[in-house]
Amino acid sequence: MTQPQPGQDAGRGIHRFTVGALTCAVVSDGQLDPPWDPPLREFFTPATGVPERELRAAAAREGRARPTVTCGYNCLCVETADGFAVIDTGLGRGFPGYGPHITPLVGRFAGRLAEAGLRGREPAAVLFTHLHEDHTRGAVWPGEPAFPDAAAYAHAAELAYWSAPSCPAPADQRGPALRAIRALGAGLRAFEYGAEVLPNVRTVEAAGHTPGHTAFLLESRGERLLCAGDTFHDPLQLGHLAWRTPWDLDGPRSVLSRRRLLDLAAAERLPVHAYHLPFPGLGLVERHGDAFTWQPVLP
């Protein structure tokens, strides 16, 4: 992964780089910085197997003055031989779900596409790691495709799960997923794991967070990048692989996927794009015993 020149757009939430012959950019939909960064205890709870005392101790060992999550929404753009593609699209404008103070901080993806010189060209494809609202709303708000000429892609298991009348997911997750599926309509295509869904972009099994949760592997001219989606939400999870969040629909499987992908990234020095880490969400994974650490790649 080739780094950009210092100062390239970083202050505007745009981080340009290359993977071999692929021109890429992380375009931020927003980031929850202090004082609006959410508490760690909302992400890692006793109900998901993380005692609060253990959580506080882990945060203290890392020297965190405030036990919070700097939650980013890092959308990945890539130029492929089939055209410009976007992986996940953020929360969209006017998102009310996190409260009025948060609404102005997110929903910036479309505007930043224009700043990056990308919005004048409609994406040829939109790829979803999964169909949670913070990954899809930017593609379907306000109730219709934001990129009407783009083909949209999600894993077949993801589409089947959210569409099933017996879907057991909480309503606040299922409702937005169904709205995205209906808004995208016939333009939404299913893929399987291990498929080259676009040139130089291959799907990687990462199920657990949702039934069809998918990582994407970009590969060109001997360089690679693993787009990990919601495989982890905070660097603390790399040192505590069994920690799960309330949004992991299959907790045990999410742990297995996290370990497998981190094993791969560490063993092969594979750069990683993490959707929810602080902008730009790019880094390397290093093994430490039976766990891992995160080494961010800064603009």
**Average pLDDT score over residue span 161-165:** 97
Helix (H) or strand (E) holding 208: none
pLDDT for the residue 12: 78
pLDDT for the residue 1: 67
**Average pLDDT score over residue span 237-263:** 97
The sheet with strand 14-19 has its strands ordered as 14-19, 22-32, 71-80, 83-87, 125-127, 151-155, 188-191
- What residues contact residue 286 under an 8 Å CB cut-off, 6+ apart? 266, 292, 293, 295
Q: Which pLDDT band, with edges at 50, 70 and 90, does 7 fall under?
A: very low
Q: Where are the domains of the chain?
A: 10-296
Q: Which pLDDT band, with edges at 50, 70 and 90, does 118 fall under?
A: low
CA dist 77 → 55, 80, 224 (Å): 34, 10, 15
**Average pLDDT score over residue span 128-134:** 98
State pLDDT tens for residues 169-216: 999 999 999 999 999 999 999 999 999 999 999 999 999 999 999 999
Q: Which pLDDT band, with edges at 50, 70 and 90, does 6 fall under?
A: very low
Does residue 172 contact residue 147 with C-beta atoms inside 8 Å?
Answer: no
pLDDT of residue 9 exceeding 60, the answer is no
State pLDDT tens for residues 20-57: 999 999 999 999 999 999 999 999 999 999 999 999 99
Instruction: Please state the CATH superfamily assignment of the domain spanning residues 10-296 in this structure.
Output: Ribonuclease Z/Hydroxyacylglutathione hydrolase-like (3.60.15.10)
pLDDT of residue 66 exceeding 90, the answer is no
pLDDT of residue 2 exceeding 90, the answer is no
Q: Which pLDDT band, with edges at 50, 70 and 90, does 130 fall under?
A: very high
pLDDT for the residue 122: 77
Q: b/e map of 6-37 (b: 16 or more CB within 10 Å)? A: eeebbeebbbbbbbbebebbbbbbbbbeeeeb
pLDDT for the residue 3: 52
Task: Say what the pTM is.
Answer: 0.94
pLDDT for the residue 245: 97
Mean pLDDT of the chain: 93
